[in-house]
Amino acid sequence: MPIDIIMPQLGESIAEGTIVKWLVSPGGRVEKDQPLIEVETDKVALEVPSPAAGFLSEVLMSEGQTVPVGTVIARLESQASVGIINRVGGVVVKPVPQAGEGEEHHSPAVRQLAKEHGVDLSQVKGTGADGRVTKKDVLEFVVARRGSSPTAEAPSPSPSPSRGEGRVGVAAEEIIPVTSMRKTIAERMVASRHTAAHVVTFFEADCSGLAATRQSHQLTYLPFVVNAVTRAMRDVPVLNSSWSDNGITIKRDIHIGVAVALEEGLLVPVIQNADKKGLQQLGKEVADLAERARTKRLNPEEVQGGTFTITNHGGTGSLFSTPIIHQPQIAILGVGAVQKRPVVINDAIAIRPMCYLSLSFDHRVIDGATADQFMSKVKGYIEQSDWEKFL
C-alpha cells in the first residue's frame, strides 16, 4: 500500500517549505532513512529521509515549489511491492535496480545539467552523500574536460564582435536562477538595513596570548572569540538584547550564532548557552554545526534562538568587514584574518599575530561609547594569556 510523503514540520514557527531537489528519481528505489528530498525553509536547508524502503511511485510536487506543512508531496510504494509491477495513479512503476546492479540514479537537476553539456554521468565521480553525483561534480568534470581536450565544446570561428556586441551565436548575458535561500537572505538583509540604525566600530587584537593553548589543544581561533564575547556580555549585558516598541529586552541566556558560508548562501547555526561551555566543547560544537550545515543535516531548532552572531570572514583572507545585523539581535561581530604584523610594544617594534574585529551595532539600542566599551572587553579577553583555565 502506498505511503504518503508529506512536507514535514521543520520547526515550531515554520508553516511551509520549498522543494529544492528530489534526490531519488520517480520510480527509483530508496532505502529506509536514505535522503529522499532536499527541503529549504526561511531558516534552514536539510535533507529529509525516506520513512521506509521501497520505490518512489509518485512525485506530486516539483522542484522549486513552496508548499504548506502537511501537504502530500509524493508517494512511496513499500518494499512489499518488490518483484511485481504496480500501477499507481495511472503510472506504471517498475522496480529499479540498486546502485551497482544497473544504472545509477541521479537527480533531475543533475541529469538536465549533464544533458546540456553532453556529459556521460557514468564517467563522473560523485562527491555527494553515498557517492551521489552533484551539480558541482558535473561542472567540475566539464571544466576538466575542456582543459584536457581543447577541441571539446570549442566554438566555431566567428567574426570579431563589434564594440558593445557579444560574439555571434553567444549570449552576452546569463541569468542565474535565484534560489529560495538566496531570496530569503536578500529579503532579510534589506529588511535589517531598513530596520536597524547600523553603525560599525573597529578594534585590533593581539592573538599571541592564546597561541600556545590553541596549538597544544589543536583549536581554531573561533572558540576563543566566542569565549571572549560571552564574558564581555556579562560585563555589558545590553549587547545581548533586542529592540521592541515596548522597550529593550535583555536576554538572560547567551546563544551565539556562528555564520557558515555555503555554496548557495549562508546559514547561522546557534551554540546554545555558549557562556557555560569550555573552549574544547565550543571547538567541537562549532566544527560539528559547520559540517552539518554544509551537508544539510542541521535540525531546524539549531538555527533558531540566537542572541548574538559572530561571522568569521577572516577564514577566506578578509581583513575588514561591515556585516549586517541578524534581526532581531542588536549587534554582530566580524573577525578578520589573523596575520603577523609589526606593532609597537613598549616603544619597540615587535611581530605579533594580529586581527581586526568589527562590531556592527544598532544605534537605536546603544551608542558608540557602549559599543566601544564592549569591544574593549572583547579585545582584553582575547589578549589575555591565562587560557588553560577555560578549557
Q: pLDDT tens for residues 308-352?
A: 999 999 988 999 999 999 999 999 999 999 999 999 999 999 999
Which one from 4, 130, 253, 367 is the annotated catalytic residue?
Answer: 367
Is residue 240 located within the same domain as residue 354? Answer: yes
Is residue 130 located within the same domain as residue 31? Answer: no
What mean pLDDT is predicted for residues 231-258? 94
363 is catalytic: yes
Is residue 362 located within the same domain as residue 225? Answer: yes
Of residues 61, 4, 51, 45, the one with CA closest to residue 30: 51
Say whether pTM exceeds 0.85.
no
The strand ranges marked E within 272-370 are 308-311, 331-335, 339-345, 348-362
Could you tell me which residues are beta bridge partners of residue 356? Answer: 204
Q: How many domains does the chain have?
A: 3
Is residue 132 located within the same domain as residue 75? Answer: no
Which one from 288, 362, 363, 386 is the annotated catalytic residue?
Answer: 363
Q: Supply the DSSP string of 207-237, one letter for each residue.
A: -GGGHHHHHHTT--SHHHHHHHHHHHHHHSG
Residue range of the domain that includes 125: 106-150
Of residues 154, 156, 153, 171, the one with CA closest to residue 117: 153
Is residue 206 located within the same domain as residue 316? Answer: yes
CB neighbour list of residue 181: distance below 8 Å, 6 or more residues apart: 40, 45, 262, 264, 265
pLDDT in tens, 167-177: 555 668 888 87
pLDDT in tens, 134-169: 777 888 888 787 665 444 444 444 444 444 455 555
On whether the CB atoms of residues 99 and 105 are closer than 8 A, the answer is yes
Q: Does the residue 156 lie in any domain? A: no
Is residue 325 located within the same domain as residue 345? Answer: yes
